[in-house]
Amino acid sequence: MSDILGLIGRDTPLFHDDIAMNENELQRHVAASRFLVLGGAGSIGQAVTKEIFKRNPRKLHVVDISENNMVELVRDIRSSFGYIDGDFQTFALDIGSLEYDAFIQADGQYDYVLNLSALKHVRSEKDPFTLMRMIDVNVFNTDKTIQQSIDAGVKKYFCVSTDKAANPVNMMGASKRIMEMFLMRKSEQIDISTARFANVAFSDGSLLHGFNQRIHKQQPIVAPNDIKRYFVTPQESGELCLMSCIFGDNRDIFFPKLSEALHLISFAEIAVKYLQQHGFEPYLCQDEDEARELAKTLPAKGQWPCLFTKSDTTGEKDFEEFFTDRETLDMKRFENLGIIKNEPDYDSDLLKLFETDIAAMKHRKSWTKDEIVKLFFRMIPDFGHKETGKYLDSKM
């Protein structure tokens, strides 16, 4: 973890004190409990799974659509922690599928269900079809798996949200905000907690993860120089989720407190640190063509071509926030974890409208992005979405 901490401008783990102070309780709860982790082979899912596994649960089942990532998760766990006495199994299943429903019907006996599955990329809103899948994964699969948990007598359901759900400006963040509305409705039948947190450094598919690929493939490093973000390490993301799952009251949203340890840093700043850590000095290029060409020769001279530009793509938020001024906070319970306290505040008619309108679009197998955006504005009247006509897929 120390290498990643240095890259994001920190030298100490964020939740060390909170974990240490609550470790005995965590051990006791986990060792006595049965867990189902959905989306467990993604970066956050793997981190959560490892936090649970190393505390010796009675039962730990992991579901993910990615068979390859699941294999790597098992190899990683066996190589790092070995084995547990409890029932540890993985299942390569799509949560939205009939096979998953049959899996739940055949067993379904868990104390805690943690849902880490999500379409997390801002770029997922570039076309109406991927956007609809994002709604299915982030909203409807969540609602379905909560209902299955209710039916099976699960004690607690946890799912991950995002800092981008606070005053959202992109469709991904808005889908998570709508998901939170659906959670409020279901929270009257089962205890639910969630978490909003910062970017997970070097998570699968992230820009920082892309730095590894660019070095491996000897390609230019590209990053925005005007976008600053908060970052947590993969292990910290797992710790945050587990703390919320075990200690969160119904409808609590956990988030990392802002402090000297958690500060904004630009992607370009991390790129420079990253290259220096790998023994290269950044060479600033003027355009993509120059960067691609210099990638053939500069690395041999100890330099790496970089293109640092201003961001102009749809859905980029100028700043990050974990809560809004309309939310009630508990900032005293933990050292470095804040909690948003919620009442079951939701508009039942509005949720039914969302379900009906999306179902109608699916039934006719035809919809536009504009239709979905308008529906999102119905759900979130102060939605700050701005369409620039430019998307990340049109850039290097």
CA distance 117 to 159: 8
Tokens of 201: 């450094």
Residue 390's pLDDT band (cuts 50, 70, 90): low
Residue-number span of the structural domain to which 240 is assigned: 1-200+232-262+319-396
The pLDDT of residue 203 is 84
* pLDDT digit string, tens, across residues 131-160: 999 999 999 999 999 999 999 999 999 998
- Give the per-residue pLDDT at 109: 97
Residue 63 lies in a domain: yes
Query: What does the block give as tokens for 75?
Result: 């190899």
Q: Is residue 171 part of a domain?
A: yes
Rounded CA separation 187/353 (Å): 19
pLDDT above 80 (res 313): no
Residues 10-31 have a mean pLDDT of 95
Taking 90 as the threshold, does the pLDDT of residue 204 lie above it? Answer: no
Q: What is the pLDDT of residue 166?
A: 66
Please determine, for residue 320, whether its predicted confidence score (pLDDT) is greater than 70: no
pLDDT digits 0-9 by tens, 212-250: 999 999 999 999 998 888 899 999 999 999 999 999 999
Which one has a higher pLDDT value, 9 or 53? 53
Decide if 114 is inside a domain.
yes
The percent of residues above 70 in pLDDT, for the chain, comes to: 93
- pLDDT: which is higher, 245 or 314: 245
Predicted local confidence at residue 317, as pLDDT: 52
pLDDT confidence tier of residue 322, bands split at 50, 70 and 90: confident
Residue 164 is predicted with a pLDDT of 62
| For residues 350-366, average pLDDT | 98
Domain of 359, CATH number, reads 3.40.50.720
Q: Where are the beta strands (DSSP E) in 257-389?
A: 265-266, 281-284, 303-309, 328-330, 337-341
Tokens for 350, please give them: 């509005």
Whether residue 155 lies inside any domain: the answer is yes
pLDDT above 70 (res 254): yes
Number of domains in the chain: 1
Query: In this predicted model, what pLDDT tens digit does every residue of 163-203 receive, in sequence order?
Result: 666 667 888 889 989 999 999 999 999 999 999 877 888 88
Q: Supply the pLDDT for residue 228.
A: 86
**Helical H runs in the chain?**
2-7, 16-31, 43-53, 67-80, 98-106, 128-135, 141-152, 171-186, 207-216, 234-247, 267-277, 288-294, 348-364, 369-379
* 207 domain-assigned: no
Higher pLDDT, 38 or 257: 38
Residue 11 within any structural domain of the chain? yes
Q: What is the mean pLDDT of residues 347-371?
A: 97
Residue 343 domain flag: yes
Q: Is position 309 within any domain?
A: no
- Mean pLDDT score of the chain, rounded to an integer? 91
**What is the pLDDT averaged over residues 277-295?**
96
Whether 107 has a pLDDT exceeding 60, the answer reads yes
pLDDT in tens, 63-84: 999 999 999 999 999 999 999 9
